[in-house]
Amino acid sequence: MSRLLIAAGNWKMHKTMEEASAYAEAFLPRMRMYRGLEIVVCPPFTALSVLQSAFRGTQVQLGAQNVHWEPQGAFTGEISVRMLQEFGCRYVIVGHSERRHIFRETSEEVGRKVKTLCVFGISPILCVGEKLEERDRGKTYEVVREQLQKGIAHLSPEEARNLVIAYEPVWAIGTGRAATPEDAEEVIRFIREELARAFNPHVAEYVRILYGGSVTPDNVFSFVVQKNIDGTLVGGASLDPSKFLSIVEETERAFIEKSKGA
Ligand code: 13P
198-218 confidence digits (pLDDT tens): 999 999 999 999 999 999 999
Indicate whether residue 234 lines ligand 1 (CB < 6 A): yes
Note the pLDDT of residue 63. Answer: 98
Q: Per-residue pLDDT tens for 100-139? A: 999 999 999 999 999 999 999 999 999 999 999 999 999 9
Average pLDDT, the chain: 97
Domain extent listing, the chain = 5-260
pLDDT bin (cut points 50, 70, 90) of residue 58 is: very high
pLDDT bin (cut points 50, 70, 90) of residue 2 is: confident
Catalytic residue (choose from 68, 96, 105, 185): 96
The answer to whether 122 and 93 have CB atoms below 8 angstroms apart is: no
Q: Whose CA is nearest to atom 9 of ligand 1?
A: 235
Q: Is 168 a catalytic residue?
A: yes
Nearest CA to 7 among 229, 258, 262? 229
Q: Is 96 a catalytic residue?
A: yes
pLDDT bin (cut points 50, 70, 90) of residue 262 is: low
Rounded to the nearest whole angstrom, what is the distance from the C-alpha of residue 94 to the centroid of ligand 1?
14
The answer to whether 97 and 135 have CB atoms below 8 angstroms apart is: no
Distance between CA atoms of residues 191 and 204, nearest Å: 9
Catalytic residue (choose from 38, 105, 159, 168): 168
Q: Whose CA is nearest to atom 7 of ligand 1?
A: 235
Rounded to the nearest whole angstrom, what is the distance from the C-alpha of residue 234 to the centroid of ligand 1?
5
Residue 179: DSSP 8-state: P
Rounded to the nearest whole angstrom, what is the distance from the C-alpha of residue 31 to the centroid of ligand 1?
23
- Say if residue 1's pLDDT is above 70: no
In CATH terms, the fold of domain 5-260 is TIM Barrel (3.20.20)
